[in-house]
Structure 1
């Protein structure tokens, strides 16, 4: 970056920026904010929406310490300030202090929740700042007294000689400050198998919200106004229309496209606008099943039916969000109606089922999917598309059914393998085409340090727990 380095400070996320000031006999010029260069140099792409200037006539004008629920990029247009920042965010760095002088050749990025204050060192100082949210009286703020003994800020001009507002003198000491909580995580599709597993993975923390369709309708035209989205850091979309055969009907086609394509497209716009990380659970049905080896993440999309087409469209929309994880999975098994539960129930009732033997893939346990999503978020893995299923041999549905019978103490020979065509021969309604090969290559997510569960061991554990695990 031509404008100099971005430097860390003693407060996490608080970054100093050296700006090049070009001067001659007429005055000077600088690029105060240049998105492309500054993001390349290491500043967050924080999406400013408002530019404010505070002009100060006198030396010693002192303002703060205010922590707002948005990011701020501070510099001066004229003059010079002594800046002081105190971390008022919930966490181990709460109370950390950093001070420095800011002149036209310096800027500082102030992350959400870090208290900001300054004292003017020259007359006619113009203090300027960009923010990435609009001011709201309903937002949650935190304030700290400028004279707080714990922070111990060494103001160049003693506060009893400085210009302060009466309101700033009444702010609380550090021990009385309510820390600003982190931005929230929103889990959509919380009543599905993956949604329940995500609840088990993240727990009922105050900063985690779980929403069903009754709470938040992805297909609503008003979804952009449904939340104050700047309060969220992550959206995990586990909602989906999964009725593969019903999607081939007129009503089902509308529903599948609304939930699987239009909804994710809306979320991608929201995530792009508000700097949110969007996690989207996808499907093996985006492929046509003609592969002879496990599909890579970058394999061409070629869905066979409406369900797969709508999921592929959703994937293409989600990857337009700058911060995205598309987690592609298959044959999901968790807390809810699924193939393994059905086979275990049939075995217990003495039924000898016919099961498809010409579709190949791997099971994906919902607990594994939730664990993988958390891993990607916790490790700040590179954004992109990741396959995530259990590991182990590629099997057919009939082979998995036989294993369920064996593990539950029944004769696997009772499972009769049939072709997909035979299985659906007597079906009354429309039947969607299924990919014959659905195995997904796992090396990309493994390279981030994540170890998918062994499929055989996970199936045995799932059945041993009475098929009630997540």
Structure 2
């Protein structure tokens, strides 16, 4: 068996192994492990269809349905014909025609209009699809006259005769990306790099009870929704666990059932801070707080989705409430704050984090956990505060370093990891190099 590409991006011709003897022949029309290893997308079919064509010359198409399909024949031969109607495709409008016999199958990606002509009487046309037909789905058709058919088309339905010319046929939009937590720092940053995505906040989309969606018309879910009140979570445990653990579990189930990629945002707080070196993705978690434990549980839940990226980050700075903005406000009012010196890590600017998430979705490295923080040196919160004051032309000595014990004396608070720097070597190996946090800070405070 081997696979060849065609002039339409993603349209693939499979040359199948056929085993014949005096009884007839046998072939594997769909063999997931073998075919995906050869480059066929793991499209997870859910339905098998058969179309019988009594006479040679019977011609059907061209139909672009909102699903992928794998087509072949059971008996006889057909001439397949395709036209790319995908919005934004580099091969939009291009056509391809291939003869399909018992040793040939063709993978047709969603949005590529599909048609065929029977070359023999009593032909059976077989196809697998990865979504069920629905009267509410969007179907796009284009004229079968785009294909130079070997035979004079006969037995053509009236509907197929009236399909529009390519010039008048609408394009098929790509599958969508759903982003939860749209009003958070990461959600707002993702809006800038994924303007075509669908963004939902907690009023529109409760991840603990996800509303119905035509999920197979999506390609990915980015879960940027979270319960982030670290101290309040110590007492407010049920809501923290519902959002940070149960919600990702339900999204992972949706992703698994519908062949979606799930991106789950997580945190350095899943570690206890005792490693004495930057944490890698393979280090065991050991959260100190309810918040950290709930996020670690959310990671475990997200990992049940076959296609998942768990993105751990730290000290996020972006459009919303964050440490740098707090220090900026204090500096501009010439206030001399006390800031802890014994919690160390690296800040991450939300724009850089958003770009890294998009990088994972577009380059599709191995699924799993990735650390994505700002690059550069490890600092304490006091040093970060001093850098903010310096950037605003204030005296950094206005920041007074104190221990966590001193800062939280008499206050109810959750325990924090003392050192939670995350190694970014793994994501850098995929081609994404995080921005040095000092560069990000300089740009942010301008």
TM bin, normalised by shorter chain, reads: over 0.9
Tell me the secondary structure at the aligned position of residue 10 of structure 2: coil
Q: Deviations over 1:357-398 (max 9, x none)?
A: 111101011111011112222333333222111111111111
Asked whether the equivalents of residues 90 and 179 of structure 1 are also in contact (C-alpha less than 8 Å), the reply is: yes
Where does the alignment leave 5 or more consecutive residues of structure 1 unmatched? 465-470
- Alignment partners' CA distance in 1, 2:63 and 2:405: 67
Asked whether the equivalents of residues 87 and 97 of structure 1 are also in contact (C-alpha less than 8 Å), the reply is: yes
1:29-108, aligned counterparts within 5 Å? 29-91=26-88, 92-108=90-106
Q: CA RMSD in A?
A: 1.4
- Alignment partners' CA distance in 2, 1:9 and 1:214: 45
Q: Deviations over 1:110-135 (max 9, x none)?
A: 11011111111111111111111010
Q: Which residue of 2 aligns with 1:293?
A: 277
Tell me the secondary structure at the aligned position of residue 358 of structure 1: coil
TM-score, scaled to structure 2: 0.97
Q: Give the alignment partner of residue 283 of structure 1, picking from 258, 261, 267.
A: 267
1:257-406, aligned counterparts within 5 Å? 257-406=241-390
Q: What is the CA distance between 1:90 and its match in structure 2?
A: 1.2
After the TM superposition, which segments of 4 or more aligned residues of structure 1 sit over 6 Å from their partners? none
Q: Which residue of 2 aligns with 1:111?
A: 109
Tell me the secondary structure at the aligned position of residue 83 of structure 1: strand
- Alignment partners' CA distance in 2, 1:371 and 1:33: 36
- Alignment partners' CA distance in 1, 2:129 and 2:44: 8
Deviates more, 1:346-355 or 1:171-180: 346-355
Q: What is the CA distance between 1:31 and its match in structure 2?
A: 1.7
Asked whether the equivalents of residues 176 and 220 of structure 2 are also in contact (C-alpha less than 8 Å), the reply is: yes
1:216 maps onto 2:205 in alignment: yes
1:164-313, aligned counterparts within 5 Å? 164-203=156-195, 205=196, 208-220=197-209, 223=210, 226-249=212-235, 252-313=236-297
Deviates more, 1:94-103 or 1:16-25: 16-25
Q: Which residue of 1 aligns with 2:128?
A: 130
- Alignment partners' CA distance in 2, 1:348 and 1:95: 57
Tell me the secondary structure at the aligned position of residue 244 of structure 1: coil
Q: Which residue of 2 aligns with 1:155?
A: 149
TM-score, scaled to structure 1: 0.92
Q: Deviations over 1:178-202 (max 9, x none)?
A: 0101111111111001111111222
Asked whether the equivalents of residues 10 and 98 of structure 1 are also in contact (C-alpha less than 8 Å), the reply is: yes
1:410 maps onto 2:408 in alignment: no
Deviates more, 1:410-419 or 1:301-310: 410-419
- Alignment partners' CA distance in 2, 1:366 and 1:452: 11
Asked whether the equivalents of residues 47 and 273 of structure 1 are also in contact (C-alpha less than 8 Å), the reply is: no
- Alignment partners' CA distance in 1, 2:144 and 2:387: 68
Where does the alignment leave 5 or more consecutive residues of structure 2 unmatched? none
Asked whether the equivalents of residues 52 and 129 of structure 1 are also in contact (C-alpha less than 8 Å), the reply is: yes
Tell me the secondary structure at the aligned position of residue 144 of structure 2: coil
- Alignment partners' CA distance in 2, 1:94 and 1:406: 52
Aligned residues between the structures:
445
